[in-house]
Structure 1
Amino acid sequence: MHDLHTHVVPPATPFLDRLVTADPRWARLEPGPDTGDVLVAGKIFRTVRRVAWDLDARRDAAQAAGVTGQLLSAMPELFAPWAPPADAVDYARAFNDWLAGELPRHGGFYAGLGVVPLRDPDAAAALLADVAGAGLVGVELPAGPPTAALHTAAWAGFLDEAERLGLLVFVHAVGGPGVADYPHPMAANGVLFPASIGTAIGGLIATGAIAARPRLRLLASHGAGSLVTELPRIDFLRDTTPALRELMPESAVESARRLWYDPLLFDAALLRLLVDVVGADRIVLGTDHPFMPVDPVSFLDDPLLPAGLAAAVRTHNPAALLGLPAS
């Protein structure tokens, strides 16, 4: 059972001494015996359990629960989308070096995704060779980068390079600036996360960016959120708009079937709809560990879902995406 949507909080951030005092917006951990506080701009953003940063304890607990491996990605608050490009490059290099250095210490239990500077897509693309060279399997991106959407020309070089290098691109849902309009952050999370990831993946499909890169490996968090409701509308418009057909050499559904998805839709019927559209082989286990208070994918065993889906999601499909033996 390989979990491909899990997050890590480094025990020390932002790594570089000159950044520690440069800006309080850098997320940092203040660890305690059993829990730690993640501070952003001097305020507690989230209290996390020890397994968020103690990778030995995390591995032992996960293996006891039957997990055979985890793909580690940065806690989204570590993206630092506000960071100036030069600082963001240095920070990304430091995070990636730290994560790459941790992986060999745990007997192959972990694989890792790097981060990149978000205000300079060209610099992000230039960093991908180092990501691959360090032994990381890919990179994590927010669904809404700060200066340009992922489907725009600004990110084309990045996507081309990720495809060339065979790196996995994990697109993670985000709240964005609208969070401040909600009285509680979890209310914003419930509304904005599905919208943000659906918009990001839908944009990549509707602009032909996915069709143009048939070897790009892209994993969408949270089941791509609203995407499954967008695909029929996109294809209706494609069928009736010659200019859109030129932009999209294949249907939206065909493009969607090239991608991978975690099952974090919180509902068996909704996951069944996604499976019916993209195929049972495109769903990989992802639990958002260690930030969910209970198992968010227990519904995988719901009889409404196709027979064998749970086993495929937990074992065969993650192995196929990462190129691992299915056992």
Structure 2
Amino acid sequence: MIDLHTHVVPPRTPFLERLAGSDPRWARLEPAGETGDVIVAGSNFRTVRRVAWDLVERRERLAADGVTGHLLSAMPELFAPWAPAGDALDYARAFNGWLAAEVTGHDGFFTGLGVVPVQDPVAAAALLGEIAGQGLLGVEIPSAPPGAPLHDPVWADFLGEAERLGLLLFVHAVGGALAATFPHPGAANGVVFPSSIGQAVGGLIAAGTLERFPRLRLLASHGGGSLLTSLPRLDFMRATTPALQELMPQPPAVYAQRLWFDPLLFDATLLMALVDVVGADRVVLGTDYPFMGADPVTHLDDPAVPAALAAAIRVTNPQRLLTSLTAPT
């Protein structure tokens, strides 16, 4: 089993002493034995298990469960979209250097995705070559960056450079300001994440972005969320609107079929609906490890999901995607 949606919390963040004292919103980890607290703005944002930062113990536990690989990405709270652009660039370089060094010592069990200063699309684009040179396979980016959505023209150079370098863009759902209106973060997670990722990927389709970047490699978290319910409506609008046909010469589902999705839909019927639209080879294992309180992909063992499909999601599909990212060009 190869898990492509997993997170890591560096044991020392924000790495640079200058940043650590500049603003309390920089997340920092306070380990305490088998758990650790992630402190943000003076409060405990989340308590994490040791496997969130100790990759040696993590690999031992995973191997015992039959897992053969993890693609590591930053805990989304580490995006720091509020930070000044220069500080965010320094932090991104420190995180990427740390992760690139960490993954090299585990015989290929771990691979990694870098981060970029999401508040500065120009600097983010310029950093991609450095990330590729470090051996990282791509970049994790929030579904709702500050300033402008991913389909806005300000992100065109970033997307084009990611396409040119053959990097994977892992678009991860985020809560944003709306999440803060809920009485519990779990409620916000359940409601906001599906709409956030659905809007991000749907925007890339509807605005013609994926038409302009046909070789862009993009993995959408949480099964694409609400995208599945948006595609028929978008297809109807396209069929009756010539301007949309110029933006999308092909039906919206065709663009969705170019992307990859994790299976975090929590329901076998929804998963099968996604597979019917995008294809059995476009869903890859992702579990949000180590942040879920229970196994979030038990629906892969539902009788409604063919055993061959479940095996492909767990093993064949992620292996094929990783091979495409590491194969010589």
TM-score, normalized by length of structure 2?
0.98
1:125 matched residue in structure 2: 125
State how far apart, in whole Å, the 2-side matches of 1:306 and 1:153 are: 41
Map Cα deviations across residues 110-140 of structure 1 (whole Å, 9 max, x no partner): 0000000011101000000000000000000
1:104 matched residue in structure 2: 104
Q: For residues 1-327 of structure 1, what are the structure 2 equivalents within 5 Å? A: 1-323=1-323
SS at match of 2:180: helix
RMSD: 1.0
Q: Unmatched 5+ residue regions in structure 2?
A: none
SS at match of 2:292: coil
Aligned residues: 325
Map Cα deviations across residues 161-208 of structure 1 (whole Å, 9 max, x no partner): 000000000000011101121111111111000000000000001111
State how far apart, in whole Å, the 1-side matches of 2:30 and 2:48 are: 10
State how far apart, in whole Å, the 2-side matches of 1:181 and 1:293 are: 23
State how far apart, in whole Å, the 2-side matches of 1:310 and 1:180 are: 36
Map Cα deviations across residues 14-43 of structure 1 (whole Å, 9 max, x no partner): 000100100000011000110000001110
State how far apart, in whole Å, the 2-side matches of 1:149 and 1:39 are: 28
Identity %: 69
Contact in 1 for aligned 2:211/2:247 (Cα 8 Å): no
Instruction: Give the Å deviation of 1:306.
Output: 3.2
SS at match of 1:215: coil
Map Cα deviations across residues 19-78 of structure 1 (whole Å, 9 max, x no partner): 010000001100011000000111000000000000000000001000000000000000
Instruction: Give the Å deviation of 1:324.
Output: 6.7
Instruction: Give the Å deviation of 1:307.
Output: 4.1
Which residue identity is paired with 1:289? Y
SS at match of 2:223: helix
Question: Structure 1 residues 316-325 or 18-27, which shifts more?
Answer: 316-325
SS at match of 2:211: coil
State how far apart, in whole Å, the 1-side matches of 2:324 and 2:85 are: 35
Question: Structure 1 residues 204-213 or 10-19, which shifts more?
Answer: 204-213
Runs of 4+ off more than 4 Å: none
Which residue identity is paired with 2:247? L
State how far apart, in whole Å, the 1-side matches of 2:12 and 2:224 are: 31
